């Protein structure tokens, strides 16, 4: 263990030259019988989870310099496998059991995987014969003193994990996150928050979604417990049940959960929550205000950050009295970047600047920003400016008077209709104000003409949004309205825009 590690601190974090799971191993020795994780209806102590993980570790310890695929689901085997790879100091690549076979094949081929840890025979049958399968056998090792066999040291340039996101060409692209990147992320939370062994962290995410790294390792770095939300049909309801039944204190989730639960929020009361974190999508001011009434003992923190910036890299602390005036189009600001990070904005003409009240595409540099994509895909998003690597986020923002970034929309959600530039968020906010519907507006091309389509979450059939013309220009009013009982969601809990496009093309 490096001399820089804070072994005596309650809020433990690991340094650049330690494996990502060093915090877990520290608390394993200090509180082996404390609950490390609750999953699939059962609790596992730090000792029990280590024993499961170490059994896997013994089967892979010869693969230190490789990328190792991990079959992921909401079960104890998945978490044990991730820990095992982390003990090794190798990079884990989560393969979501829900992904289509074709996507899993693409990922395995692109990452040039040679080894995958599996626990399910059906999943194994879908994998390429070129892969070596390592079985997660669920057996327990002997004693926790075996943790002494694990080498904590690792280069800070070593990759901790690789996640795959959608590429500009339609092919998935690998995002390799280094130990240095992850360490910078953990240091921020160590400095800003006092998580304790008594805390209980909610884990509602797929393990192929980067915020799961927060839910797992921030908890284990603090000696706390992780509570995995069951993957059932109505997951938002399961999230609330998990918080209530297990007295969760640290809640992290995507804002879309609130949208799906909006009609139930007046009945929800969760006094156990001390921290409420949002990330992964735009947080609506109106929903944040309703959620605050559900969590009287917590402050709402809105975080922002693409996968390429290691989970999240900016924060806005929501306050009832100020946030309504600071929100734009009902969207809460994304706040200020973490320390040791720098922002640039780029306008439509490619000019770099950073000044208040002027909109541009957000670009970020800093310790959490990756150095390159796997195989250098989408390399244009990473560029050098003043000898510093910046990441082009694709998010259109402006800087307000308080120095907070305000989210205006995605660059791919700024469309032109009949030559006019249109912000889809502005239309969505106006529909919400006029009709009260949860909604999503997209632009599609029909007969070579760009058209706006509005999706409303309702079983009723209202008139065609004609009242919008009172506040919006005619070219901003959707030409097609589609009513859905539920919005399709992707594996990360966000509204699935690709599925909406398919639905729109069917009408």
pLDDT category at 6 given cuts 50, 70, 90 is very low
Summarize pLDDT for 168-198 with one digit per residue, the tens.
555 778 999 999 999 999 999 999 999 999 9
Mean pLDDT for the chain overall: 87
Residue 388: pLDDT band with limits 50, 70, 90: very high
d(CA 418, CA 416): 6
pLDDT of 459 over the 60 cut: yes
State the pairing for strand pair 115-118/67-72. parallel
Question: Which tokens sit at 343?
Answer: 């922002």
What percentage of the chain reaches a pLDDT higher than 70? Answer: 89
Cβ 92 vs Cβ 70: under 8 Å: yes
Would you say domain 16-154 falls under CATH 3.40.50.980?
A: yes
Q: Specify the pLDDT at position 325.
A: 93
Whose tokens are 């194994």? That residue is 124
- Cβ atoms of 372 and 379 closer than 8 Å: yes
Crossing angle between the packed helical segments 76-88 and 46-60, to the nearest 10 degrees = 60
Sign of CA dihedral 206, 211, 213, 216: negative
State how far the Cα of 433 lies from the Cα of 468, in Å rounded to an integer: 10
pLDDT average, residue stretch 391-406: 95
**426 conformational bin, left if phi > 0, alpha if psi -120 to 50, beta if neither:** alpha
Instruction: Report the sign of the C-alpha dihedral through residues 266, 493, 406, 421, in that order.
Output: negative
In which residue ranges of the chain is CATH 3.30.300.30 found?
418-506
Q: What is the pLDDT of residues 323-355, one digit of tens each?
A: 999 999 899 999 999 999 999 999 988 999 999
Fold entry, domain 418-506: GMP Synthetase; Chain A, domain 3 (3.30.300)
Mean pLDDT across the stretch 226-241? 92
Task: Show Cβ contacts of residue 309 under 8 Å, excluding neighbours closer than 6 positions.
Answer: 341, 364, 366, 368, 369, 370, 391, 393
Buried b / exposed e over 284-323, threshold 16 CB at 10 Å, is bbbbbbebbebbeebebbbbbbbbbbbbbbbbbebeeeeb
pLDDT of residue 285: 96
Question: Is the backbone of residue 436 left (phi > 0), alpha (psi -120 to 50) or beta?
Answer: left
Per-residue confidence (pLDDT) for residue 358, from 0 to 100? 93
**What is the DSSP code string of 399-429?**
E-TTS-EEEEEEGGGEEEETTEEEEHHHHHH
From the list 244, 291, 245, the residue with the least C-alpha distance to 265 is: 291
Which residue ranges does the chain devote to CATH 3.40.50.980?
A: 16-154
For residue 141, the model assigns a pLDDT of 56
Q: How far is CA 261 from CA 233, 288, 425, in A?
A: 14, 12, 21
DSSP characters over 247-277: T-SEEEE-THHHHHHGGGGGG---TT-SEEE
DSSP secondary structure, 452-465, as one string = EEEEEE-SS----S
46-60 and 22-30 helices, crossing angle to 10°: 130
Residues 279-322 have pLDDT tens digits of 988 899 999 999 999 999 999 999 999 999 999 999 999 999 89
Q: What is the pTM of this model?
A: 0.84
Write out the E strands in 132-249.
132-135, 159-166, 172-178, 200-203, 225-228
Q: Which residue has the higher pLDDT, 107 or 414?
A: 107
Tens of pLDDT, residue by residue over 65-99, are 899 999 999 999 999 999 999 999 999 999 988 88
């Amino acid at each position: 263990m490096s001399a820089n590690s804070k072994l005596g601190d309650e809020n433990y974090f690991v340094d650049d030259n330690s494996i990502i799971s060093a915090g877990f191993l520290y608390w394993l020795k200090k509180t082996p019988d404390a609950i490390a994780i609750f999953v699939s209806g059962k609790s596992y102590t730090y000792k029990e989870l280590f024993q499961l993980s170490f059994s896997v570790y013994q089967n892979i310890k010869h693969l230190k310099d490789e990328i190792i695929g991990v079959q992921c689901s909401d079960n104890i085997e998945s978490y044990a496998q991730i820990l095992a790879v982390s003990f090794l100091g190798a990079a884990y690549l989560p393969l979501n059991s829900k992904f289509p076979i074709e996507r899993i094949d693409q990922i395995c081929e692109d990452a040039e995987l040679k080894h995958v840890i599996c626990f399910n025979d059906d999943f194994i049958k879908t994998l390429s014969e070129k892969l070596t399968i390592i079985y997660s056998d669920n057996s327990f090792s002997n004693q926790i003193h075996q943790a002494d066999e694990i080498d904590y040291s690792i280069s800070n340039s070593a990759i901790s994990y690789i996640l795959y996101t959608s590429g500009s060409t339609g092919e998935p692209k690998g995002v390799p996150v280094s130990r240095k990147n992850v360490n910078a992320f953990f240091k921020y939370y160590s400095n800003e928050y006092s998580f304790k062994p008594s805390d209980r962290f909610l884990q509602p995410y797929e393990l192929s979604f980067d915020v799961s790294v927060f839910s797992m390792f921030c908890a284990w770095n603090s000696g706390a417990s992780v509570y995995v939300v069951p993957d059932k049909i109505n997951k938002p309801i399961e999230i609330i049940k998990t918080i209530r039944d297990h007295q969760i204190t640290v809640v992290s989730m995507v804002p879309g959960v609130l949208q799906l639960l909006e009609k139930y929020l007046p009945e929800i009361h969760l006094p156990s929550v001390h921290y409420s974190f949002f990330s992964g999508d735009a947080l609506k001011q109106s929903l944040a205000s309703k959620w605050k009434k559900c969590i009287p003992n917590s402050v709402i923190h809105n975080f922002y950050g693409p996968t390429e910036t290691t989970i999240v890299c900016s924060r806005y602390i929501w306050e009832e009295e100020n946030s309504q005036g600071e929100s734009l189009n009902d969207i809460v600001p994304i706040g200020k970047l973490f320390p040791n990070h720098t922002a640039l904005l780029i306008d439509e003409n490619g000019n770099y600047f950073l000044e208040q009240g002027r909109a541009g595409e957000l670009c970020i540099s800093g310790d959490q920003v990756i150095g390159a994509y796997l195989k250098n895909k989408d390399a244009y998003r990473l560029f050098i400016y003043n000898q510093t690597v910046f990441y082009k986020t694709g998010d259109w923002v402006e800087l307000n008077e308080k120095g907070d970034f305000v989210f205006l929309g995605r660059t791919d959600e700024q469309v032109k209709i009949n030559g006019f530039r249109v912000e889809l968020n502005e239309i969505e906010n106006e529909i919400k104000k006029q009709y009260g519907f949860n909604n999503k507006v997209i632009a599609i091309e029909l007969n070579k003409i760009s058209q706006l389509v509005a999706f409303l979450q309702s079983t009723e059939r209202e008139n065609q949004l004609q009242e919008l013309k009172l506040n919006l220009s005619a070219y901003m009013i959707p030409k097609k309205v589609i009513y859905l009982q539920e919005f399709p969601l992707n594996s990360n809990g966000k509204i699935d825009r690709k599925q909406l496009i398919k639905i729109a093309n069917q009408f």
